Amino acid sequence: MTNFARSNSNIGQQVYFATSVGNDPTAWVATNDEGDRFFLIATDLNVDGVEYGWKDWDWAQSGASRYIEVWESDDLRNWSQQRHVLVSPEEAGMTYAPEAIWDPEIGAFVVFWTSSMYPKGTHYSSDKSDPNGRYPLTGGQTFYSTTWDFVNSSPAKVMTTRTGHGTLDPVIIPDGKGYYQRIVSDRNSTGVNLTWYGLPCDSEDLYQERARSVLAQPDEWQLVATRITHRTMNTTYAEGPLVFKANAADLRGKGYYMYADQKWAGSPSGEFMEKQYQPYWTADVGNPDWQPMNWKQKPDYNLSLGVIRHGHIWSLTAAEHAAIRGTNLRSSNIIPPQEARLQHWRVSRP
Tell me: pLDDT of 105 over 90: yes
pLDDT confidence band for 158 (50 / 70 / 90): very high
The confidence score (pLDDT) of residue 327 equals 58
The domains located in the chain, with CATH, are 2-347 (2.115.10)
Tell whether the model's pLDDT for residue 1 goes beyond 80. no
How many other CB atoms are found less than 10 A from the CB of residue 282?
A: 18
This model's pTM is above 0.85: no
Give per-residue pLDDT as tens, 290-328.
Answer: 999 988 776 666 655 667 778 888 787 777 777 777 655
